[in-house]
Amino acid sequence: MKKMLVAALAMMAMSFNALAIEGKTLNFCGGAEGGFYESFAKQIANDVAKAAKVQVEVLSTEGSVSSAQMLKDGDCDVAILQADAVISRPLPSDIAVSDAHKEAIYWLFGKGGVSDFGDMSDKEHKNKGIAVVEGSGAEVTLRNFGNVDKDFKDLNIIVFDDWFSAAKAAADGKVRRAKNDIPIAGMVYIGRPGNISSEITGEFKEDLTIGEIDVSSFKGVKDAIGGQLYSTCELTDKQTNGLKTSTRLKPDTYCVNAQIVYNNELFDGLDKKDVRLLRKSLDKAIVQNVRQQRVQ
């Protein structure tokens, strides 16, 4: 009996090994180095590698813009992107999209800033700049607001290399460019609620205030899988990272989903057995890690 059990286990091991996808490497665009997207990508990649016996490489990128471009160019097979990047950036024609966690859209302003982002559609504020980091999800969202509502089409978007520089400009209420001072109305930052970058909160906690984004036209827009692209949400005291708020009540803003996207062309050249194994391993890893994030 014992010999039969050992033999059965050996056959199971041989069968599992036979399913291993030799020579297959998946490239996973995980966002900025050291950021949450990168760590989340590594969790998913580790589970896929174990289940499908494939090599998975997590690549650092400059943000949603570069991740989307790398996915389009075939430099990565999987990427974590904001939902508005999925519908507004060029991507492969055949993709699978899954919802991940929600992220809050923060409107932060300093000296002489504008407390309500909706007021940026007013003529009196049209000359004021809005600070974002180049290539970030915040830039994607800000530009997509213009696609959603023409009143926000011609916003004066001022891009910076990092969040510290953007936050400094917002705190100062101005930035000098080409020998001219540009008034800064505020800045847009996107992240998991309560996880604002220390580059912003570390030096500028006393100088920046969380305002509101309450524009009715942003409601009802659909994402790539038919869900609500921008959903209304409130920022609780635990989600302000110690920053002041412009109202005594919880500030109203919008949240946007992060989404995990993979290019179905990654299965090209594999036999049916390997396609089934890899697809199941990838989908299962995504579902399990997304669920885990939601309960944390």
Q: What is the mean pLDDT of the chain?
A: 90
Q: Are residues 174 and 200 in the same domain?
A: yes
CATH (domain of 246): 3.40.190.10
Do both 63 and 186 map to the same domain? no
In this structure, the answer to whether residues 184 and 134 fall within a common structural domain is yes
79 alpha-carbon distance from chain centroid: 10
Counted residue by residue, the chain has a size of 296
Confidence of residue 7 (pLDDT cuts 50, 70, 90): very low
If asked whether residues 172 and 279 sit together in one domain, one would say no
200 in helix, strand or coil? helix
Q: Do 50 and 146 fall into the same domain?
A: no
- Cα within 13 Å of Cα(279), Cβ side: 16
Do 109 and 253 lie in one domain? The reply is yes
CA–CA distance, 174 with 172 (Å, rounded to integer): 5
Identify whether residues 253 and 265 lie together within a single domain: no
80-115 pLDDT, tens per residue? 999 999 999 999 999 999 999 999 999 999 999 999
Supply the pTM of this predicted model: 0.88
Q: What is the enclosing helix (H) or strand (E) of 22?
A: none
Q: Is residue 128 part of a domain?
A: yes
Q: How many angstroms separate the CA atoms of 166 and 189, rounded?
A: 10
Range of the domain at 285: 24-101+260-295
Check whether 53 has a pLDDT greater than 50: yes
* Beta pairing partners, 189: 106
d(C-alpha 284, C-alpha 103), whole Å:
22
> Within this chain, do residues 153 and 220 fall inside the same structural domain, yes or no?
yes
Q: Is residue 3 included in any domain, yes or no?
A: no
